[in-house]
Chain A
Amino acid sequence: SQQGEEDPQALSIQEGENATMNCSYKTSINNLQWYRQNSGRGLVHLILIRSNEREKHSGRLRVTLDTSKKSSSLLITASRAADTASYFCATDARGGSYIPTFGRGTSLIVHP
């Protein structure tokens, strides 16, 4: 079963615009990670946010975590055509071995 669910399923924007993706999950977590996947290839780790953190930045990426709402968001600022990819959140359930559970992903298309 999918622990994290991303929203929207698909997002199409113009280069230079910001892109926001959301992730909701069901059970308490230790941390939440965002990954990116280009066209059916391997996933690339973007950012990890722990359950006691509320916001993290990495370059043009900003991630927020609201544990009371069991949700996270990924913001990509000033998007580029090269940001076109699928984005997944992965949650690590509190109390278990570290086995991340992935959502179905958001497909982002950035038009040049």
Chain B
Amino acid sequence: ETGVTQSPTHLIKTRGQQVTLRCSSQSGHNTVSWYQQALGQGPQFIFQYYREEENGRGNFPPRFSGLQFPNYSSELNVNALELDDSALYLCASSYWDRDETQYFGPGTRLLVL
């Protein structure tokens, strides 16, 4: 167990809807990263937050947005859902400048119909 939790575990939405996924970081960590993992693929980096500021972004459109809160919990929001957004969404927390190891949560599996 990494101490990183995500909710919900599973979610079904329809195309065009909006979704919010949540992540609670491991205690003491100040950085959170979000990844999208399609079936049979490796995780693709969406963005990273460090002390509530976006610290890097992958090749994802602006309808993917995020927040990190003072208690280092985090949200991933996706607007105007598309069928291709169906995937496992993973968050990972770490302590920037101390340890490059990322500690992953169990993921949220999103299905867009």
Contact = CB atoms under 8 A, between A and B. Distances in A.
Contacts of A104: 40-42
Contacts of A99: 33, 45, 48, 56, 58
Size class of the contact patch on chain B: 20 to 34
Contacts of B92: 43
A33 B107 CA distance: 20
Size class of the contact patch on chain A: 20 to 34
B84 interface: no
A97 B43 contact: no
A100 B94 CA distance: 12
B45 A42 contact: no
Q: B interface, by DSSP: helix, strand, loop or mixed? A: strand
A101 interface: yes
A45 B2 CA distance: 10
Given A104-B41, A104-B42, A97 B56 contact: yes
Given A31-B100, A42-B104, A48-B100, 8 more contacts: A42-B106, A43-B43, A43-B92, A44-B2, A45-B103, A97-B55, A98-B96, A98-B100
26 contacts: A31-B100, A33-B100, A41-B107, A42-B4, A42-B105, A42-B107, A43-B43, A43-B102, A43-B104, A45-B103, A48-B100, A88-B43, A92-B100, A96-B56, A97-B48, A97-B56, A98-B94, A98-B100, A99-B33, A99-B45, A99-B56, A99-B58, A101-B45, A102-B42, A102-B44, A103-B42
Interface of A: 2, 30-31, 33, 35, 40-45, 48, 88, 92, 96-105
